[in-house]
Chain A
Amino acid sequence: MPMKTALIAALMALIAIGCLAGASPSDPFKSSEPSESMAPVRLLTGVPANMGDGDGCFTNAIEGELTVDPKYGTAIVTTTPPEGLTATIAWRPGFTGRRVGSEIEVLDPNGNVVATTGNKYRIAGGGVDWPEPPIKVFWACDFVDQK
């Protein structure tokens, strides 16, 4: 009986140590509390007027570094000639953004992260006149390939 008690005590101690270790920031499985660093970010989303029901897409792409756009969420800075030009990105309906540190993650309607600012991508779509706000944007409507 004392032996069994000691075993249970040892197991409880191990669990306690495990729980403390689980609080480490490096543990990817720790439960995440909502915090300011994961705050939602509003992206520009929708379908341009000339794309009907919106299931289609243009058949070319933009390539560059995804950056934070303080007004519309995300933009892309071209890395192919002429380099260094910035275009606001509009995403399909259902895409969302969230801030992670100083970067913004873009999530598809299923909650999968498809892009993060600071990285380089080739994104399918085309330039369009956005209905509201009336600005020119690059509509990201298909693949997002990291370069």
Chain B
Amino acid sequence: MTRCRGSSPALKLVSVIAITIGGLFVGVPRASAYDHTNYAGRPLGTSGAVNDCHGAAYGRVDGSLVLFSAYHCNPASAGLGAGQPAYGHDGSIIGFWASDWGGASVNDFSYIWLETGQVPFIKNEIYRGFNPACPTCADHWTVTTAYPSVGLSCAYISSKFNRTVYQNFQPFYNYTWEKEPGLMTGFKVSGSSCQVQTTINWHGAAYKDSGSPFVYGASTNQPVGIATSKDGSNALAFSTFYDGWNKANVYWLSHGSNVGVHLCYDSNCT
């Protein structure tokens, strides 16, 4: 680092001011600007292999704040290395993608370890957009359960087929599209993977549905799934949130002093 060796304090002050002002005009990268955007229900920034997935919901894993999303959004899923940065809408790094652990990838479930400060002030809200028919209504769902209900797991969700489900999808972070309603019509595939078919249409190549949260119509206080795929007719399917989360929880609880996984169910996410 260059020092103003032997110069007067006044000259040093002038130098500091000049460097600071100069930095504003020569495109110096922003250092550690905190991003308090709520990405639960909003798209992330471009992130290498897996562009612009959505965040689904906030939670804690092993005591640390995380943002849940789909595993196939994690660059590690394509062999691009574990721990790649995750980006916010303005290009800042909001955190780092988790490694593939415990087989939760089978349920297309992953998360981002959030950097200190890179979290919204209220952490248990999932953005759902503005409702023009009800301007005074909340533009978010509030998560009030630490754990997704087992009733929304793959094993039991078939009892809820043909009922309403909502997708939280914003094409860009600052859009205000309202949630989209549809029906859960059945399983898309069978076997170890559990993808629930819906009647909601894929939003197209210009947008990224992956990772966007789904909420079961009668259970808006807990996410039911994470958008992961579409069928040949462009109808969206989601992976059940419970199954990926449960696999993660089993893994973390089996590791000594770890405290497991839970959703942010109060504003501070304690």
Contacts and interface: CB of A to CB of B under 8 A. Distances in A.
Contacts of B231: 55-56
A124 B74 CA distance: 15
A122 to B, nearest CB: 8
A38 to B, nearest CB: 30
B173 interface: no
B170 to A, nearest CB: 14
Contacts of B71: 127
Given A55-B231, A80-B47, A60 B210 contact: yes
Most chain A Cβ neighbours within 10 Å, of B73, B77, B228: B77
Nearest to A142: B205
A60 to B, nearest CB: 4
A54 B36 CA distance: 39
B155 interface: no
B243 interface: no
A143 B205 CA distance: 8
Contacts of A60: 50-53, 72-73, 208-211
B129 interface: no
Contacts of B228: 58-59, 126
Interface in A37-82: 49-53, 55-63, 78, 80-82
B188 A81 contact: no
Contacts of B189: 50-53, 56
Contact of A81 (B46, B78, B190): B46
A85 B230 CA distance: 27
Contact of A85 (B46, B48, B51, B72): B48
A59 B210 contact: yes
B144 to A, nearest CB: 28
A1 interface: no
Interface on chain B toward A: helix, strand, loop, or mixed SS?
loop
Range for the number of chain A residues in contact with chain B: 35 or more
B110 to A, nearest CB: 10
Contacts of A57: 229-230
A132 B231 CA distance: 24
Contacts of B79: 87-88, 127, 135-138
B192 to A, nearest CB: 7
Contacts of B193: 49-52
Contact of A137 (B51, B70, B78, B209): B78
B48 A127 contact: no
A62 B227 contact: no
Most chain A CB within 10 A, of B48, B84, B210, is at B48
A81 B231 CA distance: 29
A59 B49 contact: no
A50 B188 CA distance: 10
B229 A56 contact: yes
Interface string A103-147: 000000000000000000010101111000001111000110100
Nearest to B78: A127
B85 A82 contact: yes
A131 B228 CA distance: 19
Contacts of B70: 126
24 contacts: A50-B192, A50-B195, A51-B229, A52-B190, A52-B193, A59-B202, A59-B208, A60-B50, A61-B50, A81-B46, A81-B47, A81-B91, A85-B49, A87-B49, A87-B78, A122-B51, A126-B70, A126-B210, A127-B49, A127-B71, A127-B74, A127-B76, A128-B72, A137-B78
Interface of A: 49-53, 55-63, 78, 80-83, 85-88, 122, 124, 126-129, 135-138, 142-143, 145
Interface of B: 46-53, 70-81, 84-85, 87, 91, 105-106, 108, 188-193, 195, 202, 205, 208-211, 227-232, 236-237
